[in-house]
Chains A and B, each alone.
Chain A
Amino acid sequence: MTPSFETYAAIRFGYGLRPGATPPQSPEAMLAALAGPDLAAADWPIAGFAEKAEAERALGLLRKARREKVDGAEEEFKAANRAALVVSAGEMRHAMLRAITGPDGLRERMVRFWADHFSVNARGKGLRDVTSGYIEDAIRHNITGNFRDLLRAASLHPVMLIYLDQVLSIGPNSRIGKRAGRGLNENLAREILELHTLGVGGAYAQTDVRQFAELLTGLFYNFRTGFDYRVQAAEPGAETVLGEVYGGGRTERLADIHAALDDLARHPDTARHIARKLAVHFVADDPDPALVAALEAAFRDSDGDLMQVYGALLAHPAAWSDFGAKARQPFDFIVAAFRALGTDPGEIANLNFRKTRQFLSGPMAVMGQPWQQPPGPDGWPEALEDWITPQGLAARVEWALMAINAFGRDQDPAAFAVAALGDMADDRLRRIVGFAESRAEGMALVLASPEFNRR
């Protein structure tokens, strides 16, 4: 069946229906909300990276003291570490609550989309969770501007520099390189080309990766001194990336890196890569080529103005057809379930650390999407088949049973189906869930239904 515009808008471009909340009424209204003030961020604040960096630095000092067996350092480290975990859990709840309560679902979805496009996973690099702060600084403020600014903010953010090893890459012929015998690390250069801009099918070769890696040397961050462009670590001389020459002036300059990033942002392969990714994420795993072409043209013609691209997406007929071609990812599934249940935001905000693990982060991991720990810099998979697996589906049913027992309101399953799915809750679905032995199980079946897990 074909859902109404409202159902489409709420489910495909937002986090689903919520009793008492009015779904978007038109593409214009959706774009206007996105261009307007960020209300959800004000309601549920999340600290930026600078604040986390301070905590991270303090934790690093305690870790060192503990290694050196300073009196009491062990206890102090453990307490600080616990405190950091508690803060992270709170940030996760706030990120969820923005999507659960926020009036502007498209904004939250775009934040997740771009955070995934510029994926970081800084665990294992000696860091606790700094991803939330990175998303807050680099992504959230930049999703309605120009891609050029988003690219610069994300790919040069300290968390990205650490995650993709740029802080360790030294020009072999730079002062530091020669003195310490250090050299390049290609990681960030490769992923900017392959993932952030041109895409793996783009017109670059290994020599471009190498040259770009040389150009990127000098970028540095540490928790004590902050961001720094270190000329003494930058590879001397000019570099040629995709046929353009950068640098080669009297001294190495950060401005040359910015110029190269700007050129990558406006490369036609980048327009194609971003257009396709947006269409795949929002509409279909194998999207209508006309939709991709329309997004590509909007990106190219506006020189990367993201609002223009979103406008082209919402204006295209393909965006409003073929409902259910995508799967709600586990984060989306949990958020949409809380929306459908009409759960009081305070109940979620007040979950303690243990319950946050029990109800939110633990189950999300079993469903295949541990919070802010994507498998690699390419982010989460998109295909329906990646998410609708036996083990993933079982985890969704399990969570639904548990969450309804804890947060449910003992609603009539058929009525709950309508609250969750609007006009997508057809007779058949309402009848089947009505046969359940208990209301809770009937409600869980609604959340387990194909209709609720597709978008």
Chain B
Amino acid sequence: MAHNPNRRQFLLRSAALGCSAAASPFWTPITLASAPWDTRLVVIILRGGMDGLDVVRPAGDPLFAEYRPNLSDDAASSDLDGYFRLNGHLGALAPLWQAGEVGFAHAVSTPYRDKRSHFDGQDMLEAGTGMDVGIGAVRDGWLNRMLQSVPGVDARTAFAVGREDMIILNGNAPVSSWSPEARLDLSPQGRRLLQALYHEDPLFQEAGNTATELVEMLETGDAGDDGEGDDNAMMASMMNAGRAARAGALARFAAERLNQDTRIAAFSIGGWDTHRTQANGIKRALGELADAVLTLKQVLGANWDRTAVLAMTEFGRTARENGSRGTDHGTGGAMLMAGGAIRGGRVYGQWPGIAEAELYQRRDLMPTGDVRAYAAQTMQGLFGLPRDVLEGSIFPGLDMGSDLGILR
């Protein structure tokens, strides 16, 4: 996609050129193209409706155990603040909570209400719109609109990682998408011909160019990452391909890009639609989430201090367990925040209580906060975006509210 250098970038380049190229650790072609900030944002979409009440449990209210006789066992969970307890399958994140690098927002949701469809719920979560806009009417995602509002962005600034389309990053700003297990073993001549083939088809041209560039970048930039790089690697990737990359692999790839010139990454973790035997059913998804956060921290190294991770879902689930030791689609839920840039170690949000009259439609946790406000305040702090842009074009119609204090 065309890239127009702007004045700010030009100044950055001049500054870079002013130092000794050999001596500067920043002197790489990649740095020249990087966006004009150093903080990083990772958004993880939790597909299927994560049960916030199971992840961050209001164990201090006796109603919780009454509502959920099979989903309130305290044995494996750990105390967070005397009222909420953390699901034991996120136990690996407890040290990060202690260190203030993991926190939660509770009783939050998108503006989506009432039909409780996963698919519309996810579309709204990624579009970042409200109920006033028809679902599907906005085709681009809020992270893409954020990119459209800042200068110095190029196709490597933001990455969608994994096999599936991430609506949250779709839109007019150039972004990259790649899946860690993908390969492209065409000869240089073959790549040139592919470009010629795609010349008159913009969609193929963009996808093909991105693929070629990424493969070249990964081949040179990440040598040693996988030493084979030949037919064996291709065969191995084809053979092992039956299973999608686990969240840890997606997080690793995202972190490696974020250590280079990428500043925003998004990927998905599925498996949250726990209609049955949830105590066991949620284990894998929570394990993946914990693994993703820990992998990000490990691979990001020093960059972790400048990183915020937001893990958000399309809706929460019913306050009461259903007839099969699971939960059905609900409304209010929880989001996870992590990273050195986050002021963790606390559960944010206005707790509405869970007495029947306090529930939404006497059924779901009442949402008292908008996940978009958390995302907006995070981006305001990380990237210095003005409030009118956040409330106007990125999240149209959002009231960000007063400072939640979620960033350090």
Could you list which residues of chain A lie within 8 angstroms of chain B, going by C-beta atoms? Answer: 164-165, 168-170, 172, 177, 182-187, 190, 194, 200, 205-206, 209, 357-358, 361-363, 365-366, 368, 370, 375-376, 378, 381, 383-386, 388-395, 397-399, 401-402, 429, 432-433, 435-437, 441, 444-445, 448-450, 453
Contacts and interface: CB of A to CB of B under 8 A. Distances in A.
With a 10 A CB-CB cut-off, give which of A378, A391, A392, A445 has the most chain B CB atoms. Answer: A391
Interface of B: 47-48, 114-120, 135, 163-165, 170, 176-179, 181-187, 189-190, 193-194, 196-198, 201, 203-204, 207-208, 210-211, 214-215, 234-235, 237-244, 270, 273, 275-276, 322-324, 326, 328-329, 361
A391 B178 contact: yes
Contact of B194 (A190, A358, A388, A397): A397
Contact of A436 (B117, B164, B193, B198): B193
Determine chain A's interface SS by DSSP, over half rule. helix
Contacts of B114: 205-206
Given A194-B117, A362-B238, A450-B198, A183 B204 contact: no
A186 B329 contact: yes
B242 A362 contact: yes
B160 to A, nearest CB: 8
Contacts of B196: 432
Contacts of B242: 357, 361-362, 365, 370
Nearest to A170: B323
28 contacts: A164-B275, A165-B275, A170-B323, A184-B323, A185-B326, A200-B120, A357-B239, A358-B235, A361-B242, A363-B238, A365-B242, A365-B243, A366-B181, A370-B244, A375-B164, A381-B164, A381-B165, A383-B165, A388-B204, A390-B207, A391-B182, A399-B238, A401-B186, A402-B238, A435-B189, A437-B190, A445-B197, A450-B203
Contact of A393 (B165, B204, B234, B270): B204
Contacts of B240: 362
Determine which residue in B47, B215, B242 has the highest number of CB atoms from chain A within 10 A of its CB, and name it: B242
Contact of A200 (B115, B186, B207, B241): B115
Contact of A206 (B116, B164, B243, B273): B116
A381 B238 CA distance: 23
- In this complex, the member of B170, B178, B241 whose beta carbon has the largest number of chain A beta carbons within 10 angstroms is B241
Given A182-B323, A186-B329, A376-B119, 18 more contacts: A172-B323, A183-B323, A190-B329, A209-B116, A362-B239, A366-B182, A370-B242, A370-B243, A370-B244, A378-B118, A386-B165, A392-B207, A397-B211, A398-B185, A401-B186, A448-B197, A450-B198, A450-B204
A368 B238 contact: no
Contact of B163 (A391, A429, A444): A391
Contacts of A185: 275-276, 322-324, 326, 328
A122 to B, nearest CB: 13
A432 B204 CA distance: 16
Contact of B322 (A183, A363, A370, A445): A183
Contacts, number: 181
Nearest to A199: B117
A390 B193 contact: no
A168 B274 CA distance: 13
B115 A194 contact: yes
Given A361-B242, A450-B198, A390 B176 contact: yes
Contacts of B48: 376
B116 A390 contact: no
Given A378-B118, A394-B183, A432-B196, A444 B211 contact: no
B121 to A, nearest CB: 10
A194 B120 CA distance: 10
B234 A368 contact: no
> Of residues A169, A393, A448, which shows the largest number of chain B Cβ atoms within 10 Å of its Cβ?
A393
A187 B317 CA distance: 12
A394 B211 contact: yes
A402 B164 contact: no
Name the residue among B182, B243, B244 with the largest chain A CB count within 10 angstroms. Answer: B182
A318 B118 CA distance: 32
Given A362-B239, A388-B207, A391-B179, A397 B184 contact: yes
B40 to A, nearest CB: 22
User: What are the 8 tightest A-B residue pairs by CB atom distance, in nearest-first order?
Assistant: A183-B323, A168-B324, A391-B179, A390-B210, A390-B211, A362-B241, A391-B182, A450-B201
Contact of B207 (A383, A393, A399): A393
Contacts of A453: 204
A190 B115 CA distance: 9
B51 to A, nearest CB: 14
Contact of A394 (B204, B215, B239, B276): B215
Nearest to A371: B242
A381 B136 CA distance: 14
A391 B177 contact: yes
B282 to A, nearest CB: 12
A450 B48 CA distance: 33
B274 to A, nearest CB: 10
A394 B198 CA distance: 13
A432 B215 CA distance: 22
A429 B164 contact: no
Contacts of A378: 118-119
A450 B197 contact: yes
A432 B361 contact: no
> Most B CB atoms within 10 A — which of A177, A392, A429?
A392
A375 B322 contact: no
A340 B285 CA distance: 41
A386 B165 CA distance: 5
A303 B270 CA distance: 38
B197 A449 contact: yes
Given A358-B238, A378-B119, A384 B184 contact: no
